[in-house]
Amino acid sequence: MEVLDSIRLNFNQDSLLLLNICMGMVMFGVAIELTVADFKRLWFKPKSLLVGLSAQYIILPAITFVLILLLKPIPSVALGMLLVAACAGGNLSNMLSVLAGGNGALSVSLTAIATLASVIATPTNFAFWGSLYLSTGTDLPTLSISFTDILEAILLVVGIPLLVGMWFNHQYPKLSLKFRKPIRIFSVLVFAAFIVGAFAANFSIFLEYIHYVVLIVLLHNALAYGAGFALSNVFGLSMSDKKAITVETGIQNSGIALILIFNFFEGLGGMAMIAGWWGIWDIISGLALAWGLSKVKKPKIAIERLA
């Protein structure tokens, strides 16, 4: 598996700039649909939101760390897993939650709040768990994880586009309502086109080395879905809320992970392969899971009347 760190994807500074722009467009497309009502739901239904955020930012990184200790992958793969786990949910999670028959309003609120929280939660989680992992002794003794550098990058790529989008929605609600759907669709299509192009440019590399990470990502992704469902089940949430939280926890924004990998880790092969395949696999698994969950109906409760 060490051979992964010897590979370098076809990804230069121009590609990185384009990826940053594409991700900024996606974040703006998300923010332009956000309203005050999305955040007010936190007060009206705090339990489900807090469970969802806990699954995303507490349980998943902790489970990832335990999985790394059990599997003992090479350090770059382990750090890639931790970085993906530290990111917010992916931008397709709302659509998949609805397809699964989940609580759409909860999904939107979770995406909004988790994405805003990622400005602090992502660098904090990765710095904590990454440093903890590096302290156990690895083959990357010179690698350091800078909370402030990662925070600055996320502020530029996530924080600013979100704030601009929310400001635009607040200042020009009618214009925003008219263009929000086309803008979001366009931003997602542009980002998807970039990912497809990047994948095509590195197809031979993926084909040669993908077998090193396929099972790891599959297991990691399955545990992410499981963590969301298990935690929401423990707290006795409704089936529609369970579905939304399950999808939100398993669909990770690997685009942000790739930006950080190429910004701060020189496109380290193991990290890039994990994040790159995550971005593809969680869409495949998300569609399959949404189809499966859509078949799960709310249980009927028989009520017996006492004479």
| Overall fold of domain 39-157+214-294 | Na+/H+ antiporter like fold (1.20.1530)
| Cα radius of gyration rounded to whole Å, the chain | 19
Residue with tokens 């759409």: 104
Note the helical H segments in the chain: 13-31, 36-44, 46-54, 60-71, 75-86, 93-99, 104-134, 147-154, 160-171, 173-201, 203-209, 214-234, 239-250, 254-264, 269-294
pLDDT at 236: 92
Residue with tokens 């950080």: 260
pLDDT at 307: 38
Burial 215-252 (b: 16+ CB within 10 A, else e): ebbeebbebbbbbbbbbbeeeebebbbbbbbbbbbbbb
pLDDT at 50: 92
Q: What single-letter DSSP state applies at residue 208? A: H
pLDDT at 304: 38
pLDDT at 200: 76
Spacing of C-alpha 177 from chain mean position = 26
pLDDT at 301: 46
Q: Is the dihedral of CA 206, 207, 213, 215 positive or negative?
A: positive
Please give the structure tokens belonging to residue 162: 């979100």
Point out the residues of the chain with pLDDT beneath 50. Answer: 141, 301-307
**DSSP output for 53-112:** HHIIIIIHHHHHHHHHHHH---HHHHHHHHHHHHS-B-TTHHHHHHHTT--HHHHHHHHH
Q: If we measure between CA atoms, which residue out of 72, 60, 108, 107 comes closest to residue 222?
A: 60
- Extents of the domains making up the chain: 39-157+214-294
